[in-house]
């Protein structure tokens, strides 16, 4: 069965500022921490509304946003990723499936510890990783 996006167009006129309903491609929650995943085809850009939405969410300490570029139908065709944290973008960096799996595992393992200090350290490690300062997590 093919996944279909809901048609939000009938609701576009409900908001006087021209705001439109947005979707999130993926989200993980663990112990009050959130990892939002937004997947874009190679060359696609974030809409202005999504950019505002994700930057606003990323300013919350418990939220991280990961933009992934690649073919959504095949995780082996990932090209790059950008981290959004504290309202700032880090990256993009070259990305492939094993590296992305390592990012997800690191996030999950750290938030599973439910330790604020470890979470802060991980946020700093992610910034170094996504700016190319560190090649490993």
Decide: helix, strand or coil at residue 14.
Answer: helix
pLDDT tens per residue, range 38-90: 999 988 888 899 999 999 999 999 999 999 999 888 888 999 999 999 999 99
Q: Helices 97-112 and 116-130, interaxial angle, to 10°? A: 160
Q: Report the distance separating Cα 110 and Cα 114, nearest Å.
A: 7
Q: How confident is the model at residue 3 (pLDDT cuts 50, 70, 90)?
A: low
């Amino acid at each position: 069965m093919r996944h279909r996006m809901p048609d939000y167009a009938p609701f576009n006129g409900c908001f006087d500022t021209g705001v439109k309903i947005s979707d999130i491609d993926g989200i993980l929650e663990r112990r009050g921490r959130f990892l939002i995943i937004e997947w874009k085809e190679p060359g696609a850009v974030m809409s202005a509304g999504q950019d505002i939405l994700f930057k606003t969410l990323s300013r919350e300490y418990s939220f991280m946003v990961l933009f992934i570029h690649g073919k959504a139908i095949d995780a082996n065709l990932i090209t790059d990723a950008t981290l959004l944290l504290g309202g700032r973008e880090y990256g993009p960096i070259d990305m492939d499936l094993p590296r992305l799996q390592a990012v997800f595992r690191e996030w999950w393992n750290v938030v599973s510890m439910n330790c604020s200090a470890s979470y802060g350290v991980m946020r700093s490690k992610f910034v170094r990783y996504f700016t190319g300062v560190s090649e490993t997590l």
